[in-house]
Amino acid sequence: MSMLGETFAAARAEGRAALIGYLPGGFPTPEGSVALIAAMVENGVDIVEVGLPYSDPLMDGPTIQAAAQQALDAGTTTDVVLDVVSGAAATGAPALVMSYWNPIEQYGIERFAQALAQHGGCGVITPDLTIEEAGAWEAATSANGLDRVFLAAPVSPDDRLDAVCRASSGFIYAASLMGVTGARQSVGASAEGLVQRLRPRTVLPIAVGLGVSTGAQAAQVARYADGVIVGSAFVRRVLDAATPADAARGVAELAAELAAGVRGRAS
C-alpha cells in the first residue's frame, strides 16, 4: 500500500475523512510556503498538495491565479517546487504535486517523475492530462513508485468514469462542480451523486474538491467522501494576511476548523 493509501486507511480507521490541503509551491516565497504547509499539517491536514505555478492557469479561479503569479514573479521554477515538496514531505504528511501537464512535459516526463520521487513526493494530480494521452506518464509514475490522480467531473459519462478509475492510483479526485477553482458559499449539489457513481467502479478512496472553505462544508462532504480537498480558502488566508505571522496563524486556524469538520465536530 502506498503512503497515500495508508493515510486514507488510517483516517477510515478513525471513522473520518482525510483532510487534503493545497498551497502553490513558492507562495508567498519558497521558504514561506514550507512554513505554511508545516502549520497546516500541525493543525490537522493529513495530505498536502503542492501546486506547480503555471503562467496559463485556465482551470484556476482568481485566488489561486493571484497566488501562482506571485510565486512566478518571485522566481519559482519547477526545481523550486520540488524543493518545497521536500519540505512538505519532511512534515510526515504525504506530499503530492498538482500541476498542469505542460510544465511536466517541458521539464521531461521521466525526469520529473524521478526528481519528484527523489524529493519525497508520493504522487501527482494532473487535471488537464487526458487519459488517452497518458501512456508515457503512466509508465514513468509506475517506474518511480508515484501515484497518479485523475479528475472525475459531474458531467463525465459512465465510460469516462470507468477510464478515470482504471488509470488512477492513490485516490480519485471528484470535482464537486464544473468551472474554475474557488471557495464558494456551498459545495456543488452534484458532488454526492458523483461519488455514488464512482463507488461501484473503484476500490480507491474518493476525495471531493472545488468549493470547500469552511468546517461545516468539510463536515458535509466528509459524510459521503473519503477525503475533503481545500485549496482556495487556504490561499485566501495568505493573500489577506498583513504579515507572514498572520498568514501562518490564518492557515493554522483554518486547518483546525476543517479538521474538526472532517471529524464531525464542526460548529
Consecutive H or E run containing 239: helix 232-239
Is 138 a known active-site residue?
A: no
Consecutive H or E run containing 23: strand 18-24
Residue 25 predicted with pLDDT over 80: yes
Domains of the chain: 3-262 (3.20.20.70)
pLDDT for residue 210: 81
* pLDDT single digits (tens) 232-256: 999 999 999 999 999 999 999 999 9
Q: Which of 14, 56, 60, 240 is catalytic?
A: 60
pLDDT for residue 60: 80
pLDDT over 90, % of the chain: 86
Q: Which of 6, 42, 46, 49 is catalytic?
A: 49
User: What are the backbone dihedrals phi and psi of residue 200, each rounded to the nearest 5 degrees, phi first?
Assistant: -70, -10
Q: How far apart (Å, rounded) are the C-alpha atoms in residues 96 and 147?
A: 9
Residue 267 predicted with pLDDT over 50: no
* Residue that is written with C-alpha cell 511536466 in the block: 104
Q: How far apart (Å, rounded) are the C-alpha atoms in residues 247 and 252?
A: 8
CA 104 centroid distance within chain: 17
Q: How far apart (Å, rounded) are the C-alpha atoms in residues 124 and 116?
A: 9
Q: Which residues pair with 109 in a beta bridge?
A: none
| CA atoms 56, 57, 58, 64: torsion sign | negative
pLDDT for residue 184: 43
Is 60 a known active-site residue?
A: yes
- Half-sphere exposure of residue 259: CA atoms within 13 angstroms, side-chain side: 17
